[in-house]
C-alpha cells in the first residue's frame, strides 16, 4: 500500500487523513447541495428498505480502493418495478412490502416478462449533475408508484435498473474540498505513480478513465495509452474493478440477443436499453461502430429519447472526437443491447459545465432528464423499431 500512501500526500490525503472518509455513515453534501458518493449509495439502500414491494438493491462489486483494502465503497444497483395488477390505492400501500409483497421482476437474471432499462451515472466522477438526476429519478418512481399515474405505468411495464454512482472513489475526490469541486474524471487506480497529482485539477493525473476501459472496442481510436491522460484506457480491457462490476451487471440482466458477438445486425425483436448518463453538451450519442441497419435504427432511437434542442448521432457527429472502450461498445458489441450515452447540460451560458449551480437541477436539468428517461422506458420494449 506504499503507492496509495504516496498519493495520500496529494488530493487523496483529503479523505485518507479523515477529513472525508470514503463510505462513512455521516450524511454530507457539498457545493450547494450535491450529495457525496456515500450518500448516493445509502439513498439506494434506503429506498430499497422503504419500498421492498417495488425495489431490490444489489451489491455488484467493489471500487478500486476497496479492492486494495483501503476504504473505498461497494458499488450498488437498485432495480425498481411494479407489483402484480391491482388498484392504485393497493399499489400505494403494497409497495411498502405489506403482506410480503415483492417486485414483479427485478431478479438478477436475463429472464423477465418485462423489458429492462439500465442507467449508469457518474462513471466520470466530476460530472456531478448526473448522480443528482439519478437520485431524483429514483425518488420520482419510488414515491410516485401507486400515486402518480405516469410513474406507476413506468414501473408496471418495465424493470428500471440504476447504478447511481459508478465511480465512487473518484466522487470522493471531487467532493473533498470546501473551495469547490475538484475535476477528477477517472477512478483512483494508483498503478502509475509518476503522474502529477496536481493535474487532477484539470482532469488528468492518476487513475483510469472507466468510460474507455470496457471490453468492447478497447484500445481503438478515441482512448489514450498515456496513464496520465484524462482518457487513459487502462492497462488492459476491463482492468478496473468498477468496469468489471458494470460489465457483470449488463451480462447478468441482459440476454445475448445477437448470437454472434460484434457481427451482423441485431434482430429487430431485441429488447432492453442501456443509457450511460454524462455531462455536458446536450447530446444523445449512439455507438460509433455498428452494423449499417443498426446504425440507422439507433439514430432513430436517440432522436426519440432526446429532449428538445439536443443533438444526436455518433461521438464524431456530436462531441466531435472518437471514443472507444465505452459502456455502449460493450453492451452493443457483446450482447446486441441497444445502448446510448446522454450528455445533459448546455455547452454555454447558464447551467453549463461540469459543476452547474445546484439550482440548475430542478429549474432546467430534471425536467429534461425526466422527459428523456420516460421516452426511454417507452422505447425499451422495442429499441430497434423506433
Q: How do residues 221-254 score in pLDDT, each as one tens digit?
A: 999 999 999 999 999 999 999 999 999 999 999 9
Number of separate domains in the chain: 1
Q: What percent helix, strand, coil does the chain show, rounded to 5?
A: 35, 15, 50
Which position has the higher pLDDT, 59 or 7? 59
**What's the rounded mean pLDDT across residues 164-193?**
91
- pLDDT score, position 258: 81
- pLDDT score, position 198: 67
C-beta of residue 212 within 8 angstroms of C-beta of residue 276: no
- Domain assignment of residue 136, given as a range: 1-386
Q: Residue 110 has what DSSP assignment?
A: S
Q: How do residues 289-301 score in pLDDT, each as one tens digit?
A: 999 999 999 999 9
CATH code of the domain in which 57 resides: 3.40.630.10
Q: Residue 224 has what DSSP assignment?
A: B
| Phi and psi torsions of 258, nearest 5° | -95, -45
DSSP helix/strand/coil, 79? strand
Helices (H), the chain: 2-7, 13-16, 37-50, 64-67, 88-94, 128-144, 149-157, 168-174, 241-253, 292-305, 327-330, 359-360, 366-379
For the cut 70, the answer to whether the pLDDT of residue 311 exceeds it is yes
Question: What residues does 78 pair with on adjacent strands?
Answer: 57, 162
Indicate the pLDDT class of residue 205, thresholds 50, 70 and 90: confident
Indicate the pLDDT class of residue 211, thresholds 50, 70 and 90: very high
Q: How do residues 31-74 score in pLDDT, each as one tens digit?
A: 999 999 999 999 999 999 999 999 999 999 999 999 999 999 99
Number of C-alpha atoms within 13 angstroms, CB side, residue 142? 28
Minimal CA–CA distance to 158: which of 384, 382, 377? 377
- pLDDT score, position 203: 82
Amino acid at each position: 500500500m506504499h503507492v496509495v500512501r504516496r498519493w495520500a500526500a496529494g488530493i487523496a490525503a483529503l479523505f485518507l487523513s479523515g477529513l472525508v472518509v470514503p463510505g462513512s455513515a455521516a450524511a454530507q453534501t457539498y457545493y450547494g447541495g450535491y450529495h457525496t458518493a456515500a450518500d448516493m449509495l445509502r439513498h439506494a439502500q434506503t429506498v430499497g428498505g422503504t419500498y421492498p414491494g417495488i425495489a431490490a438493491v444489489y451489491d455488484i462489486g467493489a471500487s478500486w480502493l476497496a479492492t486494495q483494502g483501503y476504504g473505498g465503497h461497494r458499488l450498488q444497483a437498485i432495480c425498481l418495478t411494479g407489483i402484480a395488477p391491482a388498484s392504485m390505492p393497493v399499489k400505494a400501500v403494497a409497495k411498502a412490502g405489506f403482506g410480503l409483497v415483492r417486485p414483479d421482476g427485478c431478479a438478477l437474471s436475463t429472464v423477465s416478462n418485462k423489458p429492462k432499462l439500465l442507467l449508469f451515472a457518474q462513471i466520470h466522477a466530476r460530472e456531478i449533475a448526473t448522480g443528482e438526476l439519478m437520485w431524483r429519478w429514483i425518488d420520482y418512481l419510488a414515491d410516485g408508484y401507486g400515486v402518480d399515474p405516469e410513474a406507476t405505468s413506468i414501473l408496471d411495464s418495465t424493470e428500471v435498473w440504476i447504478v447511481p454512482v459508478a465511480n465512487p472513489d473518484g466522487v470522493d475526490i471531487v467532493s473533498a474540498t470546501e473551495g469547490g469541486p475538484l475535476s477528477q474524471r477517472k477512478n483512483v487506480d494508483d498503478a502509475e505513480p509518476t503522474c502529477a497529482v496536481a493535474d487532477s485539477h484539470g482532469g488528468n493525473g492518476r487513475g483510469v478513465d472507466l468510460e474507455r476501459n470496457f471490453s468492447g472496442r478497447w484500445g481503438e481510436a478515441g482512448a489514450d495509452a498515456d496513464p496520465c491522460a484524462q482518457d487513459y484506457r487502462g492497462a488492459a480491457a476491463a482492468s478496473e474493478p468498477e468496469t468489471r462490476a458494470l460489465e457483470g451487471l449488463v451480462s447478468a440482466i441482459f440476454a445475448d440477443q445477437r448470437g454472434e458477438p460484434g457481427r451482423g445486425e441485431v434482430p429487430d425483436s431485441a429488447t432492453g436499453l442501456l443509457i450511460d448518463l454524462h455531462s455536458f453538451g446536450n447530446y444523445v450519442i449512439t455507438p460509433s461502430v455498428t452494423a449499417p441497419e443498426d446504425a440507422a435504427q439507433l439514430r432513430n432511437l436517440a432522436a426519440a429519447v432526446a429532449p428538445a434542442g439536443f443533438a444526436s448521432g455518433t461521438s464524431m457527429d456530436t462531441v466531435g472526437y472518437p471514443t472507444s472502450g465505452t459502456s455502449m461498445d460493450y453492451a452493443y458489441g457483446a450482447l446486441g443491447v441497444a445502448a446510448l450515452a446522454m450528455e445533459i447540460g448546455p455547452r454555454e451560458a447558464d447551467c453549463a459545465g461540469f459543476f452547474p449551480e445546484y439550482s440548475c437541477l430542478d429549474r432546467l436539468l430534471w425536467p429534461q432528464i425526466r422527459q428523456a428517461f420516460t421516452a426511454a422506458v417507452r422505447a425499451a420494449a422495442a429499441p430497434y423499431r423506433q
